[in-house]
Amino acid sequence: MNVGIEALNVYCGLAQIPVPELFEGRGLDAERLGNLMMRNRSVGLPFEDPVTNAVNAARPIAAGEDRIEILITSTESGLDYSKSVASYVHEYLGLPRSCRVVEVKQACYAATAAVQLAAAYVASGVSPGAKALVIATDVALVDERAAYAEPAMGAGAAAVLISDRPRVLDLDLGAFGNHSYETMDSARPGPTFDIADSDRSLFAYLDCLTSCLAGYRSRVEDADFATTFDHLAMHTPFAGMVKAAHRKLMRESGGGTASIEEDFERRVLPSLAYPRRVGNLCSGSVYLALASLIDHAALDGPARVGLYSYGSGCSSEFFSGLVDEESASTLAGMRIGEHLDGRCELGFDEYAALLPDTLTCLVPERDRQVDVGAYEHLLSRARFDRDLLVNTGTKDYHRTYEWLAP
C-alpha cells in the first residue's frame, strides 16, 4: 500500500516585512544579512492566531473530504492548558463529529511525529480509506529582545492530508531515523515570550541531523546523503542554517568540497525559496520547504526527497518519500506563490506598532474584543480571493471568530 501526503497547503498570513527593513529599524549589523539568507518574514496581524492560521491553511484541502478520521494540530502556541487548538479548528473546518481531535507539542518537530503516526495508522488498515489531517500552526512571539532571531521568525500554518492516495509525497514507509535527548536550547515558558540559546540550538540541530541519518542508514541499506536523495527539504530556522547543515553532511559523506556549492544549489536551494520569504514556520517549516521544493524544482519524473525535522528540546527525524509531476500539478492548485506575493508589505514603524497586540494574542483573557476593521489600512493592501477566518476576541474565555470576505 502507498501512503503519504495527498494534499498540502500553507497559509502565511496577510502581512510581511522585508528583512533588510527590520535590520535597519532595529539597528542590526547588515553584514549578517548574508548569513541569514532571509528576504522577508511573515508578520501576524492582531486578528490572526493559531486557530485562524490553521483553518486558513487547511480549508482548501479539507473541503469536500468526508473520510478525515483524525485531526491533529501541532503547535507551540497553545491557547489553553486543556482545550486544544484542534477543537476550534474542527468546528471552523466543519469536520465530521466522528473525527478524533487532538493537539501535539514538541517544538518544531511535533508535526512530523504526527505525520508519521498518522501514516502508520493509514497503513495499518484498521480503517480502510481513512485520512488524517495534520496542521502545524504557530505565531511568532519575538521583538527586539530576540536580536538576530527576530528577522528569522515566521508565522502561519502548514496543513497536510495523509491518506493512501499520496499524490504530493509518497512516503518511503519504514525508512526513517530518529534522535532525541533533553536539552534547553529554546523554549516558550509563558504565553508572551521565547527564550533561546542559539549556539546550543545550532549544535543540537547539526548533531541530530548526523545521528538521524545514521539511524536512517541502519534501516536503509546503502543509503547515502550525497547520492540517495534527488532533493532535500529541511526544517529551516533560517535559510543559512540549512546551508550549513548541508555543508556538514556533504563533508561527512565524503563528497568533494569543490562540488558542495553546486550540490546545494541543485538539491537544496529550491526548498528555500518560500522559507526565505516567510521565516521559521516552526513545526510547519519542513512542509513549507517541501512545498517550496515541489513548486520550484523541475520535476520530470519520480524524485526522492530527504526530509529533516528538528524540534528544540529536542527530538528529530530524517525520512524520505517520492515526488513527481503529479505532486507539482496537485500543489500548483494551491497557488502558494500567489498567496505569498499578496501579503501586505509593512514598513518598520507599522510593524513595531502591531507588536503590543500580536505579542499578547495567546494570553488568556476572559473578555476581549478585536476590531478587525481597525486594520483596514493594512487589509486593503493585501490581496486574497477567498474567505479567511479572523479572531474577533474572547467571550467568557471562549474564542470568537468570523469569516472575512475578500
Partner 1 sequence: MTDTEIFETVKQNVLKVLPDLRPGDVTTEGTLTDLGANSVDRADVVTMSMEDLGLTVPVSEFQEVHDIRSLVDLLARHA
Which residues are part of the catalytic machinery? 76, 108, 235
What number of other Cβ atoms are within 10 A of residue 260's Cβ? 18
- Residue 252 in the binding site for partner 1 (CB under 8 A): yes
Cα–Cα distance measured from residue 303 to residue 102, given in angstroms and rounded to the nearest whole number: 33
Secondary structure string (H, E, C) spanning 236-274: CCCHHHHHHHHHHHHHHCCCCHHHHHHHHHHHHHHHHHH
Closer to partner 1 by CB, 120 or 202: give it: 202
- Choices 59-67, 92-100, 237-245, 260-268 (CB under 8 A): range interacting with partner 1: 237-245
Quickly tell me which residue has 470576505 as its cell.
Answer: 405
- Residue 187 in the binding site for partner 1 (CB under 8 A): no
Closer to partner 1 by CB, 241 or 286: give it: 241
* Residues in binding contact with partner 1, number by CB under 8 A: 20
- Choices 193-201, 274-282, 325-333, 389-397 (CB under 8 A): range interacting with partner 1: 193-201
Pick one of 241, 289, 370, 389: the residue that binds partner 1 (CB under 8 A): 241
Cβ atoms 310, 280 nearer than 8 A: no
- With the CA atoms of 247, 248, 250 and 253 taken in that order, what torsion angle do they form, in degrees rounded to the nearest 10? 180
Cβ atoms 308, 316 nearer than 8 A: yes
- Residue 35 in the binding site for partner 1 (CB under 8 A): yes
| 318 phi and psi angles, rounded to 5 deg | -115, 130
- The least CB distance from residue 41 to partner 1, in Å, is 18
- Residue 335 in the binding site for partner 1 (CB under 8 A): no
DSSP 117-172: HHHHHHHHTSSTT-EEEEEEEE-----GGGGGGGGGB--EEEEEEEES--SSEEEE
- Residue 202 in the binding site for partner 1 (CB under 8 A): yes
Pick one of 39, 165, 247, 368: the residue that binds partner 1 (CB under 8 A): 247
- The least CB distance from residue 152 to partner 1, in Å, is 12
Closer to partner 1 by CB, 207 or 350: give it: 207
- Residue 32 in the binding site for partner 1 (CB under 8 A): yes
- The least CB distance from residue 204 to partner 1, in Å, is 6
Pick one of 206, 352, 355, 372: the residue that binds partner 1 (CB under 8 A): 206
In sequence order, which residues have a C-beta less than 8 Å from that of residue 171 and are 6 or more positions away? 3, 4, 5, 119, 319, 320, 321
Pick one of 64, 97, 199, 300: the residue that binds partner 1 (CB under 8 A): 199
Cβ atoms 96, 133 nearer than 8 A: no
Cell of 30: 547588515
- Residue 183 in the binding site for partner 1 (CB under 8 A): yes
Question: Can you give the binding site for partner 1, defined by CB under 8 A?
Answer: 32, 35, 183, 197-200, 202-204, 206-207, 240-241, 243-244, 247-248, 251-252
